Structure 1
């Protein structure tokens, strides 16, 4: 079969022949419709992501929309290494049928980023019965923007979206959320800006897609002087690290506030938990709650897709 293939760590994939995937028990191969080029896909292929097996050659891709032998469109993923989803044929352990009206390439582009925030929100809802006030750090990226929409759809009392893209923040304000612009040239002002936003209603849930200095500013905003005996507990969930892989955590914050810091991602969330949430997430693409802009690239142009930048996501499609 034809597939995108990475031969060494850090190499750009090329379209070439690759062995067909080994058949699964009672699971005939699916045919690719579209596979999203997500941040995790690049990280795994390069060997930089903690989940990388660093075994080459490999076919990149963690999820896809595919067509079954009887013509149904399904969302799928978790192909067994070295096979990923950027290939003509896929053998995967699960399938979730797309709802009527859902754009299959938007689903391919958006399901992985949507899942990243949704899983933390769903866990909060299951544990406490509600979402409360939610602060989203990195809300102007695709994952963060979808998390804002997910929080609203799941009944958050208030949503504060923080990010650096003024245009994207303006769009989010149109949805009825509060926004905080983290001016790129003035990181020393971030803590004050976040502090002013959370002073009105301290968040009970923080979804952090960026970490690094943004997380440090958020810690400063949450850790005002004095103790907070009557304050509601805060769940701080680390999801992405686009702004940096390290952040200094003040000891005083942990002692003076009821703060629980955890992570959400592959490994801390099981595959079974992810699959259980997929139908509800996919339904949001069908009813228009979620949108994911994309640019489609045929397999033969996977190298161009690898260099794709911008708000939209690259999606690999068959030639």
Structure 2
């Protein structure tokens, strides 16, 4: 079946809109869907550049990690892309029906496509990796990014009693819905976040290392448990971590991502997260662009606080 798709033929160039031969479904668990909306997430960009840790290096490829599609019977579904199938940035694609959730009537498909990926990281982290308890305090490192802004909403919806938002873009820290917003300086973090229970880290690198030691040194009771959940690495893929950080405090460092939580675990969280988005419990700003203009959309700087959604 010939379709139109955003096709990556080189990891150092944006995808181009061109014809593509879509393989037919191979069994009864697969179906062809008309793609309605697909998010251009940072995770999509890293996959298309071959830099994501799950990349196989195989080309050509159609990028994307999730989307909204319409089944032959007219039902709208949210789907998570299968690595063994063509990606969702296309007019049509093949989905694994076991990785889909039917959307409620009237759902805003653009908002679902925009919000699911950035919300899923913190949603799964606070429900599967370290289930948050009502009233606990949370520090979000990288709070001004799209995923960080969503994490502030997620933490609040899941029962956080106190939220500290920390980021490099101080002009965007206000209005995030956190109780306290602070710059990424050791003094500010030591004062505002020394007693938090959970850290959601989208930064890693030197900023996270500095924040980690500042928070640990400032704790009044180092035997009080601190869970650090590493999700993103926008400030760098590595860090120098002094061994004393792990010995001198009740400090637990773990990650959240593909592999840290099973596919089944992620899929189990989709219905409740979709409910939050479609009911307005979680909000996201969106910018739409035609899929046919994917090459130009790919190279445009992201609008602050907005997620780009491509629409066939």
* TM-score of the superposed pair, with normalisation by structure 2: 0.92
Residue 120, structure 1, aligned to residue 125, structure 2: yes
Mark the CA change 1:24 to 1:292 in structure 2 (over 3 Å): closer, same or farther: farther
Q: Equivalents in 2 of 1:154, 1:226: separation in Å?
A: 25
Query: Which residue is equivalent to 1:18?
Result: 20
Mark the CA change 1:299 to 1:154 in structure 2 (over 3 Å): closer, same or farther: same
Structural mapping, 1:222-241, within 5 Å: 222-224=215-217, 228=221, 231-241=223-233
Number of residue equivalences: 305
Query: Which residue is equivalent to 2:308?
Result: 314
Q: Equivalents in 2 of 1:114, 1:52: separation in Å?
A: 22
Query: Which residue is equivalent to 2:107?
Result: 102
Q: Secondary structure at the match of 1:54?
A: coil
Q: 1:48, CA displacement in angstroms?
A: 0.7
Mark the CA change 1:101 to 1:192 in structure 2 (over 3 Å): closer, same or farther: farther
Residue 193, structure 1, aligned to residue 157, structure 2: no
1:238-275 deviations in Å (ceiling 9; x for gaps): 10011111111122221111111111111111111111
Q: Is the 8 A contact 1:5 1:15 kept in 2?
A: yes
Query: Which residue is equivalent to 2:92?
Result: 89
Query: Which residue is equivalent to 1:185?
Result: none
Q: Equivalents in 1 of 2:139, 2:263: separation in Å?
A: 26
Tell me whether 15-24 or 93-102 shows the greater mean CA deviation: 93-102
Aligned residue among 292, 296, 299 for 1:304: 296
Aligned residue among 38, 43, 63 for 1:40: 43
In structure 1, list runs of 5 or more residues that go unmatched: 183-189
The structure 1 segments of at least 4 consecutive aligned residues displaced by more than 4 Å after TM superposition are 128-131
Query: Which residue is equivalent to 2:284?
Result: 292
In structure 2, list runs of 5 or more residues that go unmatched: none
Mark the CA change 1:61 to 1:176 in structure 2 (over 3 Å): closer, same or farther: closer
Aligned residue among 121, 143, 150 for 1:139: 143
Mark the CA change 1:315 to 1:226 in structure 2 (over 3 Å): closer, same or farther: closer
Q: Equivalents in 2 of 1:89, 1:108: separation in Å?
A: 15
Q: Secondary structure at the match of 2:21?
A: coil
Aligned residue among 144, 155, 179 for 2:181: 179
Query: Which residue is equivalent to 1:283?
Result: 275
Q: Is the 8 A contact 1:131 1:205 kept in 2?
A: no
Q: Is the 8 A contact 2:129 2:256 kept in 1?
A: no
Mark the CA change 1:129 to 1:227 in structure 2 (over 3 Å): closer, same or farther: closer
Q: Is the 8 A contact 1:58 1:81 kept in 2?
A: no
Mark the CA change 1:265 to 1:176 in structure 2 (over 3 Å): closer, same or farther: closer
Q: Equivalents in 2 of 1:92, 1:53: separation in Å?
A: 20
Query: Which residue is equivalent to 2:53?
Result: 50
1:206-263 deviations in Å (ceiling 9; x for gaps): 000011122012112222179845x421111110011111111122221111111111
Q: Equivalents in 2 of 1:136, 1:226: separation in Å?
A: 17
Q: Equivalents in 1 of 2:128, 2:31: separation in Å?
A: 33
Mark the CA change 1:166 to 1:103 in structure 2 (over 3 Å): closer, same or farther: farther
Q: Equivalents in 2 of 1:213, 1:80: separation in Å?
A: 32
Structure with the bigger percentage of strand:
2
Query: Which residue is equivalent to 2:170?
Result: 166
Q: Secondary structure at the match of 2:163?
A: strand
Mark the CA change 1:90 to 1:271 in structure 2 (over 3 Å): closer, same or farther: same
